Amino acid sequence: MLIFRWGILGLGKIAHKFAEDLKTISGAQLQAVGSRSKERADEFAQTHGAPFSFGTYAGLIDSGEVDAVYIATPHTSHLELTLACLEAGIPVLCEKPMGMNLSQVQTMVQAAEKHQTYLMEALWTRFLPSTKKLLALLDKGEIGKVEGLRADFGFKVGPLTGQRITDPALGGGSLLDIGIYPVFLAQLLLGKPMEIQAMARMGETGVDIDCSINLRYKGGQLAQLYSTLLARTKTEATIHGQDGLVHWHSRWHEPSNFSILRRFEDQPENHFFEYDNNGYAYEARAVMEDVRAGKLQNELWSWVDSLLLHETLTKIRAEIGLSYPMEVK
């Protein structure tokens, strides 16, 4: 079997988890890592067995050593690094949010098309066994037509979370960092919203630390979504259908489990899943399969999906008055 050589740009917490998961994939190899610090790159490479480490992002991109790159830097550098990789003909898996706004995502997709190079936003939840099973059951009509949903994601900012999450220069705030997950789920189940209402509480740095979103859809369905940096919430999702509901247990966006409670039944039908990794192996496998097949995008999470997601996020930001320094002209 030919080895698929991965590179990683940005070596934070999520990059460590991704590197650990690559070890569980047959034929995958962490080949190179890049950081703004050579010392940090060397340490990461030694920890995860990567043959090459670079003290600049350009060093990895120009190395010719990788078959795809996972970009795990802060949101604000996603556009620049993605474009550099695509121009070099390197397939990209870019951590969410792929761009700071719809315009950036449009630019990235146009570049992927121009250079005929693979691009996917790393919405890992879309590729988890729990998500795939849930969608299959919904498609079979297990709870009837979906009539609405509620979903949340919250954690309390503290010493362990660092300052990035509230730094506007790094794209901080609850919406783009964690609120993106409930918005993603609403899109996955209900499509494009016809009406958006949102309000937020802004923190001292000017980013949202508490965000409440209501979406209305063409069929009349409502989605109630919530993200916060003020408290650790249950991070659950409830999907209401004509004939029952799904309770997606905490923390629903991660490797998790769910239960179905049907009308006129007292006991739920529980669905449990076993995971042998952190959950990032599923999206990594999808990229490997796509690239080897000569595809430019993924069928489960396509360019159109990312464009619609960021159209909605950009409209929510307009509703709550959230802007970032790098966007001001």
Catalytic residues: 96
Bridge partners of 228, per DSSP, are 154, 210
**Residue that has been written with the tokens 């003290």 in this structure:** 55
| Residues shown for the chain | 329
Bridge partners of 202, per DSSP, are 208
Residue 23 contacts residue 50 (beta carbons within 8 Å)? no
Residue 34 contacts residue 6 (beta carbons within 8 Å)? no
**Residue that has been written with the tokens 């905490």 in this structure:** 250
How far apart, in Å, are the Cα atoms of 47 and each of 1, 41, 50, 66, 231? 25, 10, 8, 19, 33
**Residue that has been written with the tokens 């949010």 in this structure:** 97
Residue 106 contacts residue 291 (beta carbons within 8 Å)? no
Tokens of 30: 């962490």
Specify the DSSP class assigned to residue 124. Answer: G
Question: How many CB atoms are closer than 10 A to CB 293?
Answer: 8
Calculate helix-pair angle for 303-320, 180-190, nearest 10 degrees.
Answer: 120
Name the CA radius of gyration of the chain, rounded. Answer: 20
Q: What share of the chain is helix, strand, coil (3-state, %, to 5)?
A: 40, 25, 40
- Nearest CA to 95 among 301, 273, 242, 295? 301
Longest C-alpha distance within the chain, in Å?
A: 62
